[in-house]
Every structure is written in C-alpha cells, then in structure tokens.
C-alpha cells in the first residue's frame, strides 16, 4: 500500500455537520459578511472551541479544480513586455495558469512551457493559441496534454 499522505476526499454527506459549519464560518469571515469569529459561530450555532479546533484542518474542495489541463509550448523573443502580452491573452481567454517554465534565452530566443487549467466556461484553447502565435516575436505554439479531465 502507498505512503499515507494525511488527506482524504470525502463526500459532503459523510462529513459531520460541525465541520461543514466551520467551513461556512471561514467563508463568512473571508467575505466580510461577519467581522469576528464570535459573530460567525453564533450565526451558525457552533462553539468557538469547535471552530478553533478544526479551522486549520478542513477546506472546501474548490470547483476550480475542474476542467481540462493543457500545456502550451512555444519559443519567443527575449523582449521586454512580450511575456506580459502573452499572459494577458491567456487571462482574457479565462484560463488559469498552473505553471510557467521559461528557459534562459539563447541568441535572444527563450522556450516557454505554460500549463493551463481551462474550465468549460473559458474560451477555446485553439483560439487562444492562435492569438498568442499572432504576436510579433512568438513562434509556433503547440498544444499538448489535452483531455486531462479532472471533473
């Protein structure tokens, strides 16, 4: 059997109500809907001690983990602002950048590998790659890693 990581994925219905309320209390605090832990726990009818006991150990599994993962690989000129322009295209398409790896430029050209998380509501990866490729200083954008569906 593999090494124990200390993490589990559990369906909501298997989680005790107090733990769900701790997550809700954290959301209330983060959103500013309540200003103090006292307000949050009173609103959700849990004890302060329960909140403090579990607050660092339970987190919501975010929907942002859904979608498809792609990697864009391309070469680009080592020019100030060009990477920023590429990242702006990615942001405008609604994709989430997971990793960026850029080689040290050789003869003024760097190789980039950008891993993206693309949700269903985001724009087309093919259109995004085409927009990046149209930028002066960017050479042939390749898309790989298609179809890694986490949802």
- The structure tokens listed for 93 are 């398409």
Domain span holding position 50: 12-54
**Is residue 74 domain-shared with residue 135, that is, in the same domain?**
yes
**Is residue 109 domain-shared with residue 48, that is, in the same domain?**
no
Q: Look up the CATH number of the domain holding residue 70.
A: 3.30.70.260
DSSP string, 16-78: -HHHHHHHHHHHHHHHTS-SSHHHHHHHHT--HHHHHHHTTT-----GGG-SEEEEEEEEEE-
pLDDT, one tens digit for every residue, the chain (151 residues): 566 667 777 888 999 999 999 999 998 998 889 999 999 999 999 999 999 999 888 877 654 456 788 899 999 999 999 999 999 999 999 898 999 999 999 999 999 999 998 877 677 889 999 999 999 999 999 998 654 433 3
Rounded to whole angstroms, the Cα distance separating 145 from 99 reads 13
17 occurs within a structural domain = yes
**Is residue 99 domain-shared with residue 42, that is, in the same domain?**
no
**Is residue 79 domain-shared with residue 134, that is, in the same domain?**
yes
Overall pTM > 0.75? no
**Is residue 70 domain-shared with residue 20, that is, in the same domain?**
no
78 occurs within a structural domain = yes
Rounded to whole angstroms, the Cα distance separating 96 from 122 reads 9
Residue 25: CB atoms within 10 Å: 24
Q: How many domains is the chain partitioned into structurally?
A: 2
Q: What is the DSSP letter of 122?
A: S
**Is residue 92 domain-shared with residue 134, that is, in the same domain?**
yes
**Is residue 73 domain-shared with residue 145, that is, in the same domain?**
yes
Which sign does the torsion angle of CA 27, 32, 34, 37 carry?
positive
């Amino acid at each position: 059997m593999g090494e124990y990581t200390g993490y589990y994925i559990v369906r909501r219905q298997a989680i005790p109500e107090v733990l769900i309320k701790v997550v809700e209390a954290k959301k209330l605090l983060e959103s500013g809907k309540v200003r103090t832990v006292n307000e949050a726990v009173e609103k959700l009818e849990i004890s302060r001690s329960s909140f403090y006991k579990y607050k660092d150990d339970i987190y919501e599994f975010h929907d942002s983990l859904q979608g498809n993962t792609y990697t864009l690989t391309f070469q680009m000129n080592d020019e100030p602002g060009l990477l920023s322009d590429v990242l702006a295209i990615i942001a405008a398409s609604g994709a989430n950048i997971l990793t960026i790896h850029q080689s040290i430029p050789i003869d003024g050209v760097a190789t980039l590998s950008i891993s993206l998380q693309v949700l269903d509501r985001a724009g087309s990866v093919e259109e995004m790659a085409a927009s990046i490729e149209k930028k002066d200083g960017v050479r042939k954008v390749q898309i790989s890693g298609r179809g890694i569906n986490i949802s």
